[in-house]
Structure 1
Amino acid sequence: MTTARELDERYGRTGRRRLPWIIAGVLTAAVVVAFGWMIVVSEMSTVTADDVGFTVTDEHSVDLRFQYTAPRGSDVTCVVQALDAEFGVVGWKIVDIPAAEAHTSAFDVTIPTVAAATTGLVKSCWVA
């Protein structure tokens, strides 16, 4: 009578087939962990900004109020814009904001314009 071990050896059902699957599983887990860590690190250094409000003071300036969220203790640089009724840029300014201990902070800035503006907004922000 043929034993189970003899049948396994005859048809190649040995423990050696598991090794490639184990290696593939470990490599897949390592890749998932690496990509997850890269996402966490990139999110930790991102800056988001939200417009709170604006006031058109005259034909040559707009006051913009916004809040930004950035890593604590990081200097932040933002580009702010003033737009006209047709969404054309009539003024812009680069604002350097010193590091703050708070995760979210508010900031006010006056944007000089070359024509009458109808709105002011934050274009983008980044860690300086």
Structure 2
Amino acid sequence: MPLPRPAPGTGRWWFVGIIGCTIGVGLAVWLGLANSLGAITATDTGYKVLDDRSVRVEFDVHRPAGEAVTCRIQALDATFGVVGVTDVDVPASDEGSVHKVVVVRTASRAVTGVVDSCTAH
């Protein structure tokens, strides 16, 4: 059984629709890449609860080379409440990625330590 043919005169609209969708996808990809290039990101690589008053947090910072960054590190308890906070300055360097280790002092026992945010200054 042969497939039905489109109605006469609708081929132009199929062409316009395909071109429009292609342009839309290309624009979405371009905007996504433009917003992510040069962005500052941090990746938690590990933590260790040292005692009831401190936790060690390890993390990697990815930023444009030559940019100084400040990262806020948080220690969290079992209910995800913040029990400790410290800010870590990552000085500008030629390296885009830097590994840091910091000890966060806590008000009570923490169960984890995470990078909350990193911003350029």
TM-score by length of 2: 0.70
What count of residue pairs does the alignment treat as equivalent? 100
Deviation, structure 1 residue 100: 2.2
Residue 73 (structure 1) aligns with: 66
CA distance in 2, matches of 1:88, 1:98: 29
Q: Which string of whole-angstrom CA distances, capped at 9 and with x for unpartnered residues, describes residues 55-91 of structure 1? A: 1111111110000110001001111100001111000
Tell which structure's C-alpha radius of gyration is larger: 1
Q: Given the alignment of the two structures, is residue 103 of structure 1 paired with residue 115 of structure 2, yes or no?
A: no
Deviation, structure 1 residue 44: 3.8
Amino acid at match of 1:127: A
Amino acid at match of 1:53: G
Among candidates 37, 42, 46, match of residue 49 of structure 1: 42
Residue 114 (structure 2) aligns with: 121
Structure 1 segments (4+ residues) deviating >3 Å = 42-45
Q: Given the alignment of the two structures, is residue 82 of structure 1 paired with residue 65 of structure 2, yes or no?
A: no
TM-score by length of 1: 0.67
CA distance in 1, matches of 2:80, 2:69: 26
Residue 4 (structure 1) aligns with: none
Between structures 1 and 2, the one with greater helix share: 1
Percentage of identical aligned residues: 39
Residue 13 (structure 2) aligns with: none
RMSD over equivalenced CA pairs, Å: 2.6
Structure 1 unaligned residues grouped into runs of 5+: 1-31
Structure 2 unaligned residues grouped into runs of 5+: 1-26
Q: Given the alignment of the two structures, is residue 63 of structure 1 paired with residue 60 of structure 2, yes or no?
A: no
